[in-house]
Amino acid sequence: MGEEVKIDGGEDRMTEWEAGLPTFDDLTPLSQALIPPELASAFKISPEHTRTMVDVNRASKNTISSLCGRVSHPSSTFKPFLNNHNHQNEPSVQIHVMEETETEDPDLTQGGSDPKKFRRMEPEEVDSVTHTATTDYCTDDRSAAAKTLKRPRLVWTPQLHKRFVEVVAHLGLKDAVPKTIMQLMNVEGLTRENVASHLQKYRLYVKRMQGLSNDGPSASDHLFASTPVPPQSFNDSSSCSGHGNVAANGSRGGGNSENHGGMPIPMPYPPPQQLMPMPMMVMAANGHVGVPGNMTPAGINGYEAHSHYNHYPQQYTSMMQQQRDCGKLDSDLPRY
DNA sequence: GAACAAATAT
DNA sequence: GATATTTGTT
């Protein structure tokens, strides 16, 4: 509060943000009484005592302190993100969370612009939270509060789901277990429970899709329909190099998966160390980006549309080369 | 403790 | 009703 927030690469955004702020002249000083003396006397309201800047500052600190002391304060909700932020494995996908204290609005899942109700946690934002009021006034309370809080509701955006599917595809549906998926996804704040739940749903979806082989996904499968349905043979996977799964710690790079049935696993999954921070398509203020209904299956299914892989440097290129070595060019990839 | 399925909550 | 979370069981 009152301190300058340093955001790497966010100066443009800050400038834009600041441009939208009222000018100094537009603001009513906190030290100024809200009720003019004439009105106060007319309505027999005891006049407010004149506040000095000292009073204002004290009030601000009190407010911050009280907010930090409340377990429901949003900043404490995100402690897991704060903890992990400086890890070597930078988050590659930003996740969307719902604040559990707010009433859930159906529009929120479609990217409503109200920051109070829908918050996209970005590393920069985490930094800003960390480096402002929470750091100055309520560091001690934060960890304790976070332990008692329920985790905010995770929104499985198409991007997040896509990464999920990529990991599952890499592991093979049979061997894809929540913990391993969670580790390979390398998304901060994503819990095993989150993954387990989503995996449960995903398996049901896959089962359903494989049951009705010819029919497309139902109208209710927006998210899952945005990603390929794995073939039956997904239940058995091994890499072209003769190894099974990538170790959970992702120490082995470039593992390609190919099951014995000859069906290639679509994508080599980059281990966390090799992942560049993936600029995730974000929920824009108008809520259009990332809304399943607005994302064409072709745009998501086709790996040529996976523009974020263009951000991968040499490592990913080499992995693609390994895939070629396995005879699995991108054009060979199944579309299910 | 992890995985899974079912129940429950939003 | 769809989806995410929680809970119970293995």
pLDDT at A84: 38
Angstrom distance (rounded) from CA A118 to CA A293 = 19
| A323 Cβ nearer than 7 Å to chain B strand | no
> What are the φ and ψ backbone dihedral angles of A276, each rounded to 5 degrees?
-85, 150
Whole-number CA gyration radius for chain A: 25
Please give the distance of CA A283 from its chain centroid, rounded to a whole number.
Answer: 10
pTM score:
0.43
Tell me the pLDDT of chain A averaged across its residues: 50
The answer to whether residue A179 scores a pLDDT higher than 80 is yes
Pick the residue with more confidence: A171 or A150? A171
Residue A199 burial (CB count, 10 A): 19
∠ Cα A328 A329 A330 (to 5°): 120
Residues in a beta bridge with A258: A264
Give the tens place of pLDDT for each residue, A241-251.
333 333 333 33
pLDDT digits (tens, 9 = 90+) for A211-234: 665 555 565 566 777 666 555 444
Q: How confident is the model at residue A161 (pLDDT cuts 50, 70, 90)?
A: confident
Decide if pLDDT at A159 tops 50: yes
Closest to A228 (Cα-Cα) out of A301, A291, A307, A169? A301
How would you class A115 by CB atoms within 10 Å of its CB: exposed for 0-12, middle for 13-18, buried for 19 or more? Answer: exposed
Contacts for A99 with CB less than 8 Å, ≥ 6 apart: A74, A77, A116, A117, A118, A119, A152
The one-letter code for the residue type at A133 is A
Instruction: Give the residue ranges with Cβ < 7 A from strand C.
Output: A 150-156, 193-194, 196-198, 200-201, 219-223
pLDDT of residue A175: 80
Residues 6+ apart with CB under 8 A from A315: A253, A254, A270, A274
C1' of C1 to CA of A93 (Å) = 29
Note the pLDDT tens digit of each residue in A98-119.
544 443 333 333 333 333 333 3
A153 touches strand B (CB under 7 A): yes
Measured CA A200 to C1' B4 distance, in angstroms: 8
Specify the higher pLDDT residue, A292 or A69.
A69
CA A72 / C1′ B8 distance in Å: 22
Compare A174 and A227 and report the one with higher pLDDT: A174
Structure tokens at A110: 């479609």
Q: Which pLDDT value is given to residue A63? A: 47
